[in-house]
Amino acid sequence: MRILTFVSRGLFALSAYVCLPAILVLVGIDVVRRYFFHAPLIWAQEAATLTLFLAIVFALPESWRRNVHIKADFLTAIMSRGLNDLLARAIWLMLLGVSILIAIQCWRDIDLMTLFNERSTDLDLPLSWFRAVLGVVAVVSGLLSLWKLVSREPAEQTHGELS
């Protein structure tokens, strides 16, 4: 679990301290150039979109690990401990299944994307790179969900603490 925690925190740090500031700087520069100099960055919108995709994907494993994802707390608060654990195991099982499907589909898509040389419109970046990032994060999320699925307390409440 220490390795998964380290990888999850590293991906989150990449999202929070690299991707989000990059979006802020990129959009800021584009707005200043657009409205003060009438010279927008043609590729800024695409770069911000791709960076936002990376920020969201990189933050997913940590949000699952720390239980800060969107959920209906008012329902789980009134459930018994046994029912809460059963529900948590069902959720981790679904996340494992979805993560496996995403990882498999990503790795299959990479070959086709490379074969057809799929690239972004303005930046001309290979889109297979972004598919690979999604596949790697799906594997990390799958391993995390597998660990939580077999753990003694799958419904532990960490709510954002950095343990």
pLDDT of residue 155: 66
**Residue among 130, 145, 33, 36 at smallest CA distance from 88:** 145
Answer for the pair 33, 41: CB distance below 8 angstroms, yes or no: yes
Looking at the domain assignment, is residue 155 inside a domain? Answer: no
162 assigned to some structural domain:
no
Residue 159 lies in a domain: no
Q: Find the helix packing angle between 2-14 and 127-150, rounded to 10°.
A: 140
Domain count, the chain: 1
Structural domain includes residue 104:
yes
Give me the residues of the chain with pLDDT under 50, please.
158, 160-163
- 6-36: pLDDT as tens digits: 999 999 999 999 999 999 999 999 999 999 9
> What pLDDT is stored for residue 163 in this prediction?
46
Instruction: Specify if 65 maps to a domain.
Output: yes
Domain range spanning residue 70? 2-150
In this prediction, residue 74 carries a pLDDT of: 78
**Residue 160 covered by a domain:** no
Q: How far is CA 111 from the centre of its chain?
A: 22
Q: DSSP H helical segments within the chain, as ranges?
A: 2-14, 20-36, 44-65, 73-78, 81-115, 127-150
Whether 163 is in a domain gets the answer no
For residue 45, is it within any domain?
A: yes
